[in-house]
Amino acid sequence: MKRIVIFASGSGSNAENIISFFRENPEVTVAAVLTNKNSAKVLERCDRLGVPAFYFNKPAFKDSDAVVNFLQGLNTDLIVLAGFLWKIPSNLIDAFPNKIINIHPALLPKYGGKGMYGDKVHQAVKDNKETETGITIHYVNENYDEGAIIFQAKTDVIPSDDANSIAKKVHQLEYEHFPKVIEKLLS
């Protein structure tokens, strides 16, 4: 059985979507969800869904091998960043080469990098009068949003769109494609 660990910092809607997608799959399980925010809504979702969830602090993540050791103890096959905002430290990248993926709410290389997440991305798309946006699923390396691209999907942006309507379109792409791409990577 393939084992996924999801990292999330916020509400966890993508985490819930992934958990639900694999719930009936006998070959894949979400072994745990990890978060860097002890007040993240993803913890409530995991409790409701019966998925183990754990909080870790910055020193455990950046200054030690605690998180790496935990993930290795779970026999993790794939780490999925779903709304996780911290930069991944090199010890984690080295321990799981090409086994950490992220989803970004834009068509990279546009609107990526430090500080470009969530509504900031959608507002930048609007401000620059883009006619399309989308999602990028990519491998994680030592730089924000610069890992090899695995998959992209696009949606139109029309002049009447605002950051909220752009976000809704992008979320639909995330929900539709992220679990399927994960499944393909694990097969």
C-alpha span between 179 and 183 (Å, rounded): 6
pTM for the whole structure: 0.96
Q: Of 158, 159, 173, which is closest to residue 17 (Cα–Cα)?
A: 173
Please list the active-site residues: 104
Q: Could you tell me the residue range of the domain that residue 89 belongs to?
A: 1-97
C-alpha span between 147 and 161 (Å, rounded): 29
Per-residue pLDDT band at 175 (split at 50, 70, 90): very high
**Residue 49 domain-assigned?**
yes
**Residue 41 domain-assigned?**
yes
**Residue 168 domain-assigned?**
no
* CATH code, domain carrying 28: 3.40.50.170
**Residue 28 domain-assigned?**
yes
**Residue 156 domain-assigned?**
no
Reported as a single tens digit per residue, the pLDDT across 153-162 is 999 999 999 9
* Number of domains observed in the structure of the chain: 1
**Residue 119 domain-assigned?**
no
**Residue 150 domain-assigned?**
no
